[in-house]
Amino acid sequence: MSILVDQSTKLLVQGITGREGEFHTRQMIEYGTRVVAGVTPGKGGTSIMEVPIFDTVQDAVRATGANASAIFVPPRFAPDAVLEAVDARLDVVVCITEGIPIQDMVRAMVFVENSPVRLIGPNCPGVITPGECKIGIMPGNIFTKGPVGVISRSGTLTYEIVYELTQAGLGQSTCIGIGGDPTPGTTFIHALPLFEADPETEAVVLIGEIGGSDEEIAADYIRQMAKPVVGFISGRTAPPGKRMGHAGAIVSGRTGTAQAKVEALAAAGVPVADTTRDIPALVRQALG
């Protein structure tokens, strides 16, 4: 069992003929993801890596039955790519693109929020169900199948912590990198109920960072969860007033500080690791 993606997922790649799109499509295919189509306007009727290319997402969906998309297009075109995927009513859309103007993404999110589509990102590493399906840029070799769900705002921290879990013999059910932009399609509060409902996820690792209030909101939900959650907050040593990391890592007064997030999670009964190396031990304790 998994959440969002599995071996039945049929993926199309928007921007498949670009440098990043082609490289990561190859990686996803090698991992075992069923990439059934690519979309590049003007290149319909051609193919790359034996994957047929279409001019539009609608054409690709009609021809292949694709139900998920990975977006690798330049920032100025990414909001339209998201809207095209929403119009095709795909189940899951993963927008890898970073640097999208906030006002453009805000307008696109109006349509996302009024659709059944699950958007992950933008500016995210993607989602992976180990051994079944990888959508995005995560290094598949560090993941292994197991009972730990992972959800993170930070891409590189995701890799580091997953590696620590794998080395400790703690495999993962599904890992979601939600990205660090101010307007993510999926937040902690969206993903936690999915892990709570997944029978094969026994514990969840939540990886947060300074900026925003997503972790505090998540803490309120975690109070009613039956499954244990282990937390980690990056940026605890960030100098006051210093803007660091993602566009969403903006601290205003006390709101969004690492300390406020740690306190909120601790009050909800979540053990918060001081370092990434502490996480496997806390997960083992949570699993009993």
Supply the residues annotated as catalytic. Answer: 246
Strand partners, 133: 129
* Residues, the chain: 288
Q: Which helix (H) or strand (E) holds 150?
A: strand 145-152
End-to-end CA distance of the chain: 21
Residue type (1 letter), 52 = P
**d(C-alpha 96, C-alpha 181), whole Å:** 11
Contact yes or no for 129/2 (Cβ under 8 A):
yes
Query: How far is 133 from 5, CA to CA, in rounded Å?
Result: 6
Is residue 162 within 8 A of residue 140, CB to CB? The reply is no
191: left (phi over 0), alpha (psi -120 to 50) or beta: alpha
3-state secondary structure of 28: helix
* 3-state SS class at 241: coil
Q: Provide the token pair at 186.
A: 């999926």
**Maximum distance among all Cα pairs of the chain, rounded to whole angstroms:** 57
Amino acid type, 209 = E
The conformation of residue 272, written as its DSSP 8-state character, comes to B
d(CA 164, CA 155): 15
Strand partners, 177: 126, 152
